[in-house]
Amino acid sequence: AEANGLGVRYFIDRVLDDRGSATYSHEMTHLLDRTVLFNNLGRRDGTGAEFYARGMFENSYTPESDTYLNLNFVYDHSDKDGFYNKKPDRFQSPEDLKTYMQRSFDVLYTLDYLEAEASKDMSPQDKIKYFKKIIPVGTKGSRTWVDYRNAAVKPSHMSEEIQSLSLEEANQLSDIDSLIAHHILVNRYIIAGFRDRGLIEANGYYTIDMFDTIYGVSQNDSGMSGDISFRKQAFELMAALGYYEGFVPYVSNQYKQAAEAEGRPLSDTYIFSKILKGKTYADFKKDQIKERVAKLGQLKPVTIQHEGQEIALTSQKVNDLMKKAVQ
């Protein structure tokens, strides 16, 4: 299918089945991401059409098995098991969306912390096998540049690359803060297809799996960051601050005119100075995780069915299961 600026045209997918509806959500994102979705503020300078569809607003094609960050704005899945909201009407207000995402990250940040704790006593050699790093590199791929009237303003956008760790780098990984500081993610994260390392070109079809932990953050002083960090941080900001308070300012051109008036490009750093009250993104993420860690002892027991067995989950049980999984 394609979005041509006026509507959506289908070539292969059938509009009335699940795949067709998911495709519709992808193409409608292209039609609405300059206006309705972003409060008429436009796509952020340095992005492209695919920054917002796949991995952000496009509905999952297989919601019973997919585990990437996603929101269900299309289907009634009341009769199915999955990791997403059952029905679109779960969200009646921006506050509903913030609450849902906040509670999702209550779980995800807790698991991220427990995984970091379970892996911190590994040997450096084992950490090389368990982790890798995602680092900013010069921009590659397709971007939509938004002109600045002030010719002195020169944005510089970044792409990303996933690389293996050196022994020296592995030796520096001691706790979750060090994982954040050194741009670490777990080795099981897949970029696309079977590719788990290499360049992440701009404007690609990427998703952020909820359980393939990305500890690292990205903050570009002169433009925007790469596709993976952009998507992950957009969802984190939605959870912490809200759709219009955190998500939209980060993914749109909301602060472009203000930045240009100060002789600066619209950058991660400029946006974070407006919405994070002076914190760097790394400090913001560390604080988010600390909030969850402080409440670990308050986790209420939950009983689940897993592989035909009934399991009572307490905070200690979850911790034990994480240690077993990491080992």
Instruction: With beta carbons less than 8 A apart as the criterion, state whether 226 and 47 touch.
Output: no
Q: What's the pTM?
A: 0.94
Percentage of the chain exceeding pLDDT 70: 96
Between residues 303 and 80, the one the model is more confident about: 303
Whose CA is closest to 137, among 114, 108, 157? Answer: 157
Residues pairing with 245 in the sheet: none
Does the pLDDT value for residue 162 go beyond 80?
yes
Gyration radius (Cα) of the chain, Å = 20
Dump strand ranges (E) for 147-224: 158-163, 184-186, 198-200
Instruction: With beta carbons less than 8 A apart as the criterion, state whether 54 and 48 touch.
Output: no
Show which residues are catalytic: 27
Mean pLDDT of the chain: 94
Instruction: Dump pLDDT digits (tens) for 248-291.
Output: 999 999 999 999 999 999 999 999 999 999 999 999 999 999 99
pLDDT at position 19: 80
Give the domain ranges of the chain. 96-294, 298-326
Percentage of the chain exceeding pLDDT 90: 79
What kind and span of H or E run contains 291?
Answer: helix 281-293
Does the pLDDT value for residue 24 go beyond 80?
yes
| Sign of the alpha-carbon torsion through 120, 122, 125, 127 | negative
